Structure 1
Amino acid sequence: MSEFWGDAPSIEDYWRGIILFGKNVASYKFALAQSLLELAPGGKSIITLEELAQAYARHTLEHLRLCDSQSQQTNVPYPFLEACRRYDRGEISYEELIAITAKEGFKIVLDKFHNVNKAETPMRFFAYERRGAKAIALTDELFGMLEGNQGQNLPQEVDARWRLVETAWELKVSRNLIGVDYDADLELLFVRKPMSRVNITSCRGALNGYQRGKCFYCFGDISIISSATDLTDVDHFFPRVLINDNIAHPIDGIWNLVLACVSCNRGVGGKFDQLPHKRYLERLNTRNEFLIGSHHPLRETLIQQTGDSELKRRSFLERNYNAAKTGRLINSNWQPAFEYPPAF
């Protein structure tokens, strides 16, 4: 976490640390995160548990309908999850669901939300007094984060992370056997099953947090909102023209995908099919190590693709860079005309 946060972490860095690097034995954290991001724009600083329960139950229901493997992770009967299931089966009313959620749904997550690597983050996004409390107080940090350039990207990042985690549960196989692939046409991450495949989430949503919402090359702000004028491109660091040269295999692997602004990727003087200057290889390694530091299944996918130690992964990148530089007549010194201060 210290490597990801750096010396002067931003509000968004602390938030992303919680979402991307926290322990994920259950999805309550993601449901709470989505609820906070939904409710905060309303401007109220005090949110009752009943108000919170409405958003919290709705987000949980949406994901239970996609993947109802939650109880398999906790091995403990949880009244809130059972209430969601009973509501979906028409056995209880909406009012009963919300009442149960407010009473049972927050017993763990409100206390543990800010915990990362067994310690609490220095910055909090809400305050909660457990004894008899019937509300949470949203902090100025949460409001400030949503007013910033990255505010609009955060819901997609949370949802992408949630889908990656629950897909691992859904497949019911060892996480070491899970491989996440990339569909370049649809720009989606997916996993293969016998005779079929499971689409997981947008590649942009899955990667944006690990790049701190910045273009990989120039560190300018990027957006992952499909309707945005500054929608980021998904770029192959090692250009895809190498796909038939047995270089940088797998070329569509997560390890080789970065998010880049349109200007850097395909604008005037853009990268296109060129190989970036070698100094960007260290940046790629850093980004990939952020992914490795996160929990499955992206972690296991990168280990499968590039090596089971940091030394092996560095060697993998160096070896492929040297092969790409000498094996094909492509420019190997591309870099943007301008870069903002480094983000990672």
Structure 2
Amino acid sequence: MLPFEPSRKPTIEDNWRGIILFGQNTQSYKFALAQSLLELNPEDGDLLRLEDLAPVYAKHLTEHLKNADKQGVAGSSKFLDACRSYNSDTSTYSDLVNATVQMGFKNVIDAFHRVNRKDVPYRFFEDERKTLGGIRITENFSKLEESPQFQDLSNEAEARWRLVETAWELRISRALVAVEHDPEMELLFTFDGKRRRKNVTSTRDALNGYQKGYCFYCFEEIHLDKQVETFPDVDHFFPHTLKQYGLGPTIDGVWNLVLACKDCNRGIGGKFGAVPTERLLARLYTRNEFLIGSNHPLKETLMRQSGGNHTERQSFLQDFYNKAWAILIHQWEPPEKREAQF
């Protein structure tokens, strides 16, 4: 049995990421609303009227419809049809905004905070549509804005949206959608029904939220801006060199990919070709369970790669660990730069 580290109380950032990464999705409206809030960046107490929210909200949906026409499991949607009409130049911008105000927010505002059939403890807005025609921003969203990780939340929401819409757009069983990693382009991709490659999203953007914006190994903060020093590496937890010993091709699977700061991955005293300790192996199991909990289609990919239930996945990791350690001999674990985040 893998050892497990003590848990910590979920933060405001955890609550936001829970909404984006783990909420059940039958339409993509929750992603559009999240992206709208992040873009508008309102302050505590601000009232966002639907007519002010609608243009930004509709913009995100129309942009995604250009790349993936299916934005939900429902067979039809009058609101999405209005967005399509705008994209095809058969309706005006005013028509689009009016349709968004009338139809675009019917369910998403009620369901936004819901994860696993219950609302998260931290609410980011209150519904005041009946009295004032909009939503009231709470202190929690202002605190979210103050977080150093705020700048990365839009990338994470976009990556999650791309993964979800890809499963819908392919129109094949979710269990048959396999997400693969391109190590050279550092992209996640899949194949459509005709085996044509379809790039989905950046590997970093897709994984960052599940690591809560921290290096997998030392919990140093990482950020998705390529121009900053804290831009992370995409690292193989079990070193890529194991391929030559017959432990590939599963080693390139999403289950074995983590985001690491440059010091841990390739700095003085970094991991390089060593095997992370069993304590870090338990952390990998936890991270993979986060991915499996997200569904659409990372769940099926991870289960296909590492096992269909908890016992199988623990056995898979422990067996792989024993083989890797026997080959590479050396173990590695860096000092943590802050308390464990997951």
Structure 2 CA distance for aligned equivalents of residues 156 and 49 of structure 1: 24
Q: Distance in 2 between matches of 1:224 and 1:305?
A: 27
Question: Are residues 100 and 132 of structure 1, via their aligned partners in 2, closer, same or farther at CA, if it must alter by over 3 Å?
Answer: farther
**Corresponding residue number in structure 2 for 1:69:** 70
Q: Give the share of equivalent positions with the same residue, in percent.
A: 50
Alpha-carbon distance in 1 for matches of 2:203, 2:45: 33
Contact 1:238 1:256 in 2 (8 A): yes
User: Cα distance 1:248–1:237, how it changes in 2: closer, same or farther (>3 A)?
Assistant: farther
- Contact persistence 1:168–1:178 (CA under 8 A): yes
Partner of 2:121: 122
The gaps in structure 1 that reach 5 residues or longer are none
Distance, in Å, in 2 between the alignment partners of 1:197 and 1:183 is 11
What is the TM-score with the length of structure 1 in the denominator? Answer: 0.94
* Displacement after TM superposition at 1:241 (Å): 0.5
SS in structure 1 at match of 2:252: coil
Aligned to 1:81: 80
Runs of 5+ in structure 2 lacking a partner? none
CA contact (8 A) 2:44 2:138 kept: no
Classify the secondary structure of the residue corresponding to 2:251: coil
Given that 1:24 and 1:295 are in contact with CA atoms closer than 8 Å, whether structure 2 keeps it comes out as no
Say yes or no: does 1:343 pair with 2:341. yes
Q: What's the CA shift for 1:126?
A: 0.8
Maintained 8 Å contact 1:217/1:339 = no
The answer as to 2:300 corresponding to 1:305 is: no
8 A Cα contact 2:45 2:138, kept in partner: no
Letter in 1 for 2:41: A
Counterparts of 2:279 and 2:309, CA distance in 1: 21
Q: Cα deviations across residues 4-50 of structure 1 (Å, max 9, x unaligned)?
A: x9541111000011111110111000000000000115788221111
**Matched residue, 1:283:** 283
- Which digits, 9 at most, give the CA deviation of each residue in 1:133-191, with x for residues without a partner? 41211112112112211101100000000000000011111111111000000100000
Q: Does 1:212 align with 2:212?
A: yes
Counterparts of residues 158-307 of structure 1 (less than 5 Å) = 158-193=157-192, 194-247=194-247, 249-307=249-307
Match of 2:10 in 1: 9
Match of 1:35 in 2: 36
Counterpart of 1:104, as a letter, is: M
Question: 2: distance between equivalents of 1:227 and 1:339?
Answer: 22
Partner of 2:140: 141
Normalising by the residue count of structure 2, what TM-score does the alignment of the two structures yield?
A: 0.94
Q: Verify the 8 A CA contact 1:40 1:138 in the aligned structure 2.
A: no
Task: Answer yes or no: is the 8 Å Cα contact 1:110–1:128 preserved in 2.
Answer: yes
Deviation of 1:339 (Å):
3.6
RMSD: 1.8
Aligned AA (1:87): Y
Contact 2:42-2:137 at 8 Å conserved across structures: no
Question: Using a 3 Å threshold, how does the CA distance of structure 1 residues 162 and 272 change in structure 2: closer, same or farther?
Answer: same
Q: Deviations over 1:104-141 (max 9, x none)?
A: 11011011100111111111111112425412111121
- C-alpha distance in 2 between matches for 1:280 and 1:338: 11
Q: Does 1:154 align with 2:153?
A: yes
Q: Is the CA contact (8 Å cut-off) linking 1:182 and 1:189 kept in structure 2?
A: yes
The alpha carbon displacement at 1:226 in A equals 2.3
Checking the alignment, whether the CA contact within 8 Å between 1:238 and 1:248 is kept in structure 2 is no
Give the CA deviation at 1:59. Answer: 0.3
Runs of 4+ in 1 over 3 A off after TM superposition: 41-44
Asked if the contact 2:236–2:258 (Cα under 8 Å) also holds between the matched residues in 1, the reply is yes
Which residue identity is paired with 1:239?
P
Secondary structure of the 1:131 match is helix
129-138 or 197-206, which moves further after superposition? 129-138
Given the alignment of the two structures, is residue 57 of structure 1 paired with residue 58 of structure 2, yes or no? yes
